[in-house]
Amino acid sequence: MTNHPLRLLLEFDARCQRDKEQPPAFLHRRDRKFALICQQEGEQPTPQRWLEHMKRLSGPGSAPQASEKTLLRWQHLRTLFMLSGAVFGVIAMTGLLFYDAAQRINMTVILAFVLLQLLLALFTSVQSWVGWQPWHWLLRRLQRRSAGVDQIPGGLQPLLMAEAAHRGGICFGLTGLLTLLLMVVIQDLAFGWSTTINTAASGYHHLLLVVATPWSWFWPDAVPTLELVEATRFYRVNGGSEIAPKAWGQWWPFVAMLWTFWVLVPRLLLAALANWLVRRRAQQALERHPGLQALLYRMETPTLDTGNEHNDADDLPDTRTRSDLQPLPDSHILLCWAGAGAPELPAGLAGTRNLILRAGGSATLRDDHRAIEQIGTELARDAEPAVLIITRSWEPPTGELQDFLESALELWPETTRVALVPLAQHADSEPAPHLLNPWLRFAERLGEARISVSVPQLSWQEPYGLEEPSS
């Protein structure tokens, strides 16, 4: 498990969300035992060790997937910014260095463009520090496409967006600098300066000295001299006789250092600062997380076990679910979850449905989102929208299916009925009652009246009851 505070925060938050489904007494015994184990081994019970302990208890393949999905989404976003920055860096530098042999490349325009890039970099950092999100529209669109992925706790979205923007700015600066050096080699660039305002060459030279302060001590040749400034000024009507052609190309070291120190270096520093702030605020958010306070309380408080498990009592706890099997709704939409319904569906399902989709299991997250959107389009046309989700009765419900249902119900019409249809191993037989118990409890735990459990080809004259728990 990585020590990055952001990943640790996301995994801890996902684990706390899953623990809400467990009884408080079970959580208390579990976490108190973990604290005692750490005490015996002489270790501090930190959140990271607790997550590693939970991972060992749950077994392989049961780690929370919400953190991985969230981090993958931000990785894709950073990659998009970096690719866009690289492309725009080439385009911007090519436009600035456009030279048709009739007009010099104006250094004043390059200075103004560099100043604009510096202001954009500072604005990106300032808006993230104050928590303003001008990219909120992009985040909302990404969250709709990445349904089921919770927002990052602690308000870290502005800082993460600023870090992604600075990464794009770094690629912008790098490709711009490489384009400049390449064009210096393959072309004979002619630089000059001019402005409509009546500016003396000495004043313009003083401005360049201020700009060149960061590198003047180690590369004096990259600082324009007053003679170069006076020799390369051009006008709208230019005779050209007083301008030395050899001086036109002596500006490129200054342009290269100008771009490096005032476009590339600020982005590098601000990106490093944004990365540090993400780590720091993620650590603070973890320390203030309500789940961490509850975890520390459970680890520090001893558990009380009376040893009486109602073995001799007449009031045995009722473990039956309050949900009952419901009739199959009339729907033409059938979704096979995690390979259910293969190689064949029951005759009562396959023959009357004209839209059969598959999701979960080996399907990718993009396939799941595509299935949700396609079903939502079909449901919008139905007066009584309903969906049949085919599952395997011998496989218990998973958190992945719960995330899928929660995401789908947010996009589907509010009147949509969802029927979970657990199938037996033989397509034309009914599943055993003890296999239906987990599915009925799963539907009850979701707390959605729109979700029910149904069985095809079932006689409804007698209620399909659940097995009584053995005493």
| Mean pLDDT calculated for residue range 427-444 | 80
Are residues 249 and 360 part of one domain?
Answer: no
The pTM for the full model equals 0.59
Please tell me the predicted confidence (pLDDT) of residue 305. 55
Does residue 438 surpass a pLDDT of 90? Answer: no
- Higher pLDDT, residue 328 or 211: 211
Are residues 271 and 345 part of one domain?
Answer: no
Does residue 1 surpass a pLDDT of 50? Answer: no
The verdict on residue 31 lying in a domain is: no
Are residues 342 and 271 part of one domain?
Answer: no
Please tell me the predicted confidence (pLDDT) of residue 163. 92
Cα(369)–Cα(375) distance, integer angstroms: 10
The verdict on residue 9 lying in a domain is: no
Closest CA to 173 of 80, 85, 79, 270: 85
Are residues 409 and 275 part of one domain?
Answer: no
- Got the DSSP string for 382-431? -SS-EEEEEEETTS---HHHHHHHHHHHHHS-TT-EEEEEEEPSSTTSPP
- Kindly report the average pLDDT of the chain as a whole number: 79
Domain with 383 in it: 333-453
Does residue 329 surpass a pLDDT of 70? Answer: yes
The verdict on residue 165 lying in a domain is: yes
Please tell me the predicted confidence (pLDDT) of residue 312. 47
- Got the DSSP string for 121-159? HHHHHHHHHTT--TTHHHHHHHHHHTTTPPPPTTS-HHH
Are residues 348 and 201 part of one domain?
Answer: no
Are residues 228 and 82 part of one domain?
Answer: yes
The verdict on residue 394 lying in a domain is: yes
Per the structure, the count of domains in the chain is: 2
pLDDT tens across 223-265, in order? 998 888 888 887 654 544 455 666 677 888 999 999 999 999 9
The verdict on residue 34 lying in a domain is: no
Does residue 463 surpass a pLDDT of 50? Answer: no
Are residues 373 and 274 part of one domain?
Answer: no
The verdict on residue 276 lying in a domain is: yes
| Mean pLDDT calculated for residue range 442-468 | 63
Are residues 231 and 152 part of one domain?
Answer: yes
Cα(422)–Cα(437) distance, integer angstroms: 11
| Helix/strand/coil for 452 | strand
Does residue 63 surpass a pLDDT of 90? Answer: no
Are residues 341 and 269 part of one domain?
Answer: no
Give how far the C-alpha of residue 443 lies from the chain's centroid of Cα atoms, to the nearest Å: 29
| Mean pLDDT calculated for residue range 109-114 | 93
Quote the tokens at residue 420.
């979970």
Cα(102)–Cα(40) distance, integer angstroms: 82
